[in-house]
Amino acid sequence: MPGTSTTEVRCQKCGRVFEAEVIDHIDMSQDRDLLKRIKSGKINRVQCPKCKKVHYLDRGVVINFEPENLIVLYDPSASRPEVREELMRDYRSVVMFNEVLEEVAQETEFKIVSDSAELKKMVEQWAKAHS
Let me know the angle formed at the C-alpha of 75 by 62 and 128, rounded to the nearest 5 degrees. Answer: 60
Q: What does the pLDDT read at residue 14?
A: 97
Question: What pTM did the predictor assign?
Answer: 0.85
Q: What does the pLDDT read at residue 121?
A: 93
Cα distance between residue 74 and residue 53, in whole Å: 24
Q: Among 12, 27, 63, 20, which Cα is nearest to 45's?
A: 20
Q: Yes or no: say if 76 and 38 are a contact pair by the CB < 8 Å rule.
A: no
Mean pLDDT by 10 residues, the chain (131 residues): 92 97 93 84 89 92 93 92 94 88 90 92 92 79
Cα distance between residue 81 and residue 85, in whole Å: 6
Amino acid letter, 33: D
Q: Yes or no: say if 26 and 34 are a contact pair by the CB < 8 Å rule.
A: yes
